[in-house]
Structure 1
């Protein structure tokens, strides 16, 4: 057998394997992406995303220039889709796979989207997060916060993170019960 002919046969075998692999590839399917503004009423929307529709709309307008895809190839995600994926992840703490399945995207895409959107939101922090300047400003913020939720000497909260506490008992014990039914403090 001619060694040159043997190499040619190996090349032909390789090409045949490539052709078989191409035939076995799973066809790409377009996944359904829901319009969350239309799909959910105001109450369910807030339960799913932890923000009201007007606030989400405002957020999309604010960061769409920072997160929009440069092209629409391969059915690129819209800024609204990206924001909904991120909000769903942050609101539920679900696994990337679960959020991706609900949103019609792969787990790796979900991860990239969440990173992109959270960085865009963080870049706006200087415009929205401000500490009170001076004693008078601090006192007015403290009074406003007290008027809202009856916590004295508090000037604000970040994501309203609750720290679980033992119930203080007495007449005001129910004032310390959070939405999950546990006594807590901010």
Structure 2
């Protein structure tokens, strides 16, 4: 059904060759690259190897955003399916845009524009794909998912932060993007459920920002303080302990506290595995982005949406590496909320 686009491109090549034959002294002739159709030409195994999604899921994504991608780009009309596949190839492989463009017959500049178009089209669907559980039934299902891991009660999300490498930022603000490992990054806050889906993401803070500050200034904290959710979050020592966000005991003194720490670690590990799978699926998250800062922030959210689509459609990722990066150390928060510490102590006493 996409064949007309490629026939048109082939005719364009033939016309140019005719011009060259008639006028061999012509100085400038622009040759259009032949745009192949991976949906039709690649076998399923090869397609998934290149795009990290099955053909059916790729078609699902194309159908979801195609109405927002019906515009012209310089270099000829590019069909929506080719725009999506080009963006996917760029993000999942971590290749430079020119390499991804060669596969689909586009210049580097065109690939850059296409990636931004696809990312914006995906982010327009954010509320549909990235959200905390709304109804009581949805919250109960998320809580049950966490409880099934090792019996930790009333957990509605696991929270953590991860650094995405970016190009060095110029100007006076550049120093604030340098994290504790010495490279420029965006510190991204992620909340996941037990199925490794991303339920909340904040991708706008510079790399030197402490994890606790990102949460303290997020809309999600306000929603918990307004008792919008019946469960609580689990976070590491980089967050302050509150009545709605439990952290580990820094120095457990009793058997109950040790049992709590073990259960906390196993349950909180879901968000760590979520981030690992997310980055392994999209190598550009591992290797970092070389795009404009504003575009990079959009790409991160778009890739979170694609991650959730992959999880919900059971797209298996068989080659997740055990050690993919060295985490940026986060200083522990020592000033915990007294009410939070009391709530945690009561919870430990009642459940362990």
Q: TM-score range by the shorter chain?
A: 0.5 to 0.7
Using a 3 Å threshold, how does the CA distance of structure 1 residues 141 and 44 change in structure 2: closer, same or farther? farther
Cα deviation for residue 128 of structure 1 reads 2.1
Cα deviation for residue 143 of structure 1 reads 3.6
Give the structure 2 partner of residue 50 of structure 1: 52
Cα deviation for residue 87 of structure 1 reads 0.4
- Of 39, 42, 45, the residue aligned with 1:40 is 42
Cα deviation for residue 43 of structure 1 reads 2.2
Q: Is contact 2:72–2:78 with CA below 8 Å preserved after alignment?
A: no
- Of 303, 322, 329, the residue aligned with 1:182 is 322
| Structure whose residues are more often helix by fraction | 1
Using a 3 Å threshold, how does the CA distance of structure 1 residues 145 and 120 change in structure 2: closer, same or farther? farther
Cα deviation for residue 133 of structure 1 reads 3.0
SS in structure 1 at match of 2:133: coil
Using a 3 Å threshold, how does the CA distance of structure 1 residues 138 and 80 change in structure 2: closer, same or farther? same
Q: Does 1:110 align with 2:250?
A: no
Cα deviation for residue 23 of structure 1 reads 3.5
**Correspondence list, 1:30-179, <5 A:** 30-69=32-71, 75-133=76-134, 137-144=138-145, 155=193, 156-158=196-198, 160-162=274-276, 179=319
Unaligned runs of 5+ in 1: 1-21, 164-177
Give the structure 2 partner of residue 23 of structure 1: 26
Max Rg structure: 1
Number of matched pairs: 146
In 1, Cα distance between equivalents of 2:103 and 2:147: 39
Using a 3 Å threshold, how does the CA distance of structure 1 residues 69 and 141 change in structure 2: closer, same or farther? same
Taking structure 1 as the reference length, the TM-score comes to 0.65
SS in structure 2 at match of 1:75: coil
- Aligned-residue Cα RMSD (Å) equals 3.2
Taking structure 2 as the reference length, the TM-score comes to 0.36
Using a 3 Å threshold, how does the CA distance of structure 1 residues 146 and 66 change in structure 2: closer, same or farther? farther
Give deviations 1:5-50, integer Å, cap 9, x for gaps: xxxxxxxxxxxxxxxxx9321x222311121112222222222111
In 1, Cα distance between equivalents of 2:323 and 2:135: 33
Give the structure 2 partner of residue 17 of structure 1: none
Q: Is contact 2:69–2:117 with CA below 8 Å preserved after alignment?
A: yes
Using a 3 Å threshold, how does the CA distance of structure 1 residues 29 and 59 change in structure 2: closer, same or farther? same
Unaligned runs of 5+ in 2: 1-24, 158-192, 199-272, 278-317, 325-352
In 1, Cα distance between equivalents of 2:82 and 2:147: 37
Using a 3 Å threshold, how does the CA distance of structure 1 residues 183 and 60 change in structure 2: closer, same or farther? same
